[in-house]
Amino acid sequence: MKVLVASAWPYVNYVPHLGTMIGSILSADVFARYARLKYGKDNVVFVSGSDEHGTPIEIEAIKRKTNPKSLTDQAHEYDKHLFLDVWEISFNNYSRTESETHKSFVMDFFKKLEKYMITREEDIPYCEYDKLYLPDRFVRGTCPYCGYEDATGDQCENCGRLLTPSMLINPRCAICGRKPIFKKTKHWFFDLTSFSDKVKEWLEKSETMPNNVKSVALSWISEGLKPRSLTRDNSWGIPAPFEGAENKTIYVWFEALLGYISATKEYFINKGEPEKWKEFWFGKDVISYYFIGKDNIPFHAIILPAMLMATNENYVLPTVISATEYLLFDKLKFSKSKKIGVWIDEAPYIVDIEYWRFALVRMRPEEKDTSFTWKEFVRIVNTELNDDIGNYINRVLTMVNRYFNGEIPGYREEIYKDEDRQLIKLITESPKKSSELYDRGKLKAATDPLLELARFANGYLNTRAPWDLIKNNRDEAANVLYITANSIRTIAIMLYPLMPRHAQQIYDLLNLGNIEDEKWDNAGEFILKPGHKIKSEIKPLFKKLDPDFEKNVEEKLEKIREELTKTRPPLLK
């Protein structure tokens, strides 16, 4: 079995916020870490990269009198550092759309699709001063409906009506303020219409595709798929490889989707195995997982499969598209200008990044939009992480040291009580339950069995009270600590996808090796045998957030943000 894990490519002109993180990259990482234990390290490839082309960045470069590449070079490095070094994202390859492998792959790919291209003439606003075709949002003018003077060419922000640039009264270029002219220009459209039936059939037949993705995609299809405009008249992008399309580039959305393939290819080229990427894209036993926000469903469930089908090369189509609903911030949309939210370079200054990882997965909006609140964050860290998991581990291991000299005690099955058997059953079953949910792309739900196990085990420990048993029933105390110590190993493996560093710390306390060499399917087994020695010094794994945390955090955040604004690269300020 080969497993491809793909996370939506973040557009490189902003620092991702918590919502972007749980909507794509962090979710994909949690799944990839699970999948490596489940299916074997070498069978999993996890890719993403910076999406860096397109007019917004080209225009930013014009405004700053520099070139787009120098802006995205810095922004790419900044984001990449945050993902790899700060957020512990375990990409096999975090690439970028400026990579040579990507650019040549994209041109070859679309050359093969030329027979599915339709050309049409369009009237596009053009600024003669900036020598630039202006995308809709870069034309401003007066709204024909309400008279609002600063409407953009796609929508009036005052009355909410949808517009086109030619509808604006007194249109002006958003860069220089001059009046644009309208120029006829030829564009290439991908004939999505002819793939309607094939994509529909594929979606309806799929037994793995989550329902929310199916229903959004099928309703798009039932409304009728139109040819999608594939080319743009800007220069910051990948040249369109069609005859007569000189000076045109491929629309960023189409080329970024192909990044999943080119990044896999690049990964294996860099490893010196240039053909091996094909095992992940044409193999018979490949499963592929895409982690995206719900607004990206049509691109991944319709356009990507249609493009792959159009090659006639038997590309593997998505197995599971795990599309999250929106994460809101205290019921509001994240907004940089309104200072609503937390950005991923700010987060590590608030608490250990693994607390964020844990809390965000526990809040993952799988069924409906979910609001991030500091109150809920505190509850998850203090109660779920610290009390349910951390204290339990601490209590058990301290008692193994105190009562049994740091050795896993021997056990006597003939005196097992019902509660003992219940906990053993839960230890065996929890990783399986969790695994089934991970395989369906339900990550938050997949962590519920971990919390259920920890809570049950805590209650069990209180009822069985080994600190009393030890006084006159040493064999039963031994049974309790034998079972609970083994449950800690299970908990560590189940915690690993969320908190890899802390999971390894638990493994270190248990005096076990590298947790990344474990197999998920063995997580419920009793590997700690009587006589196995654990670490003698047991320190608490987690810390509660202090009582004033909620009161002070926004102020603290404000200061951090002020500092970071000075050091962020120009494109990300």
| Contact residues for Zn ion, defined by CB under 5 A | 127, 129-130, 143, 145-146, 148, 156, 158-159, 173, 175-176
CA distance 26 to 81: 14
Q: For residues 276 and 268, is the Cβ–Cβ distance under 8 A?
A: yes
**Closest separation in Å from C-beta 132 to Zn ion:** 7
Decide whether 146 or 332 has the Cβ nearer to Zn ion.
Answer: 146
User: Residue 99: what are its φ and ψ, rounded to 5°?
Assistant: -65, 140
Here the tokens at position 57 are 């960045």
**Closest separation in Å from C-beta 61 to Zn ion:** 14
Nearest 5 degrees, angle CA 340-CA 50-CA 216? 70
**Closest separation in Å from C-beta 443 to Zn ion:** 41
Nearest 5 degrees, angle CA 318-CA 323-CA 328? 165
C-alpha torsion sign, points 323, 328, 331, 337: negative
Decide whether 84 or 169 has the Cβ nearer to Zn ion.
Answer: 169
Decide whether 162 or 337 has the Cβ nearer to Zn ion.
Answer: 162
Decide whether 129 or 349 has the Cβ nearer to Zn ion.
Answer: 129
User: Helix, strand or coil for residue 72?
Assistant: helix
Decide whether 176 or 218 has the Cβ nearer to Zn ion.
Answer: 176
**Closest separation in Å from C-beta 164 to Zn ion:** 13
CA 204 to chain centroid, in Å, comes to 26
Decide whether 148 or 220 has the Cβ nearer to Zn ion.
Answer: 148
Q: How far is CA 341 from CA 81, 336, 337, 499, in A?
A: 21, 8, 10, 23
**Closest separation in Å from C-beta 147 to Zn ion:** 7
CA distance 255 to 258: 5
**Closest separation in Å from C-beta 123 to Zn ion:** 17
**Closest separation in Å from C-beta 144 to Zn ion:** 8
**Closest separation in Å from C-beta 165 to Zn ion:** 13
Query: CB under 8 Å to 80, separation ≥6 — which residues?
Result: 50, 94
Decide whether 107 or 175 has the Cβ nearer to Zn ion.
Answer: 175
Instruction: Give the helix, strand, coil percentages of the chain, each rounded to 5.
Output: 50, 15, 30
Here the tokens at position 391 are 């204290």
Decide whether 144 or 227 has the Cβ nearer to Zn ion.
Answer: 144
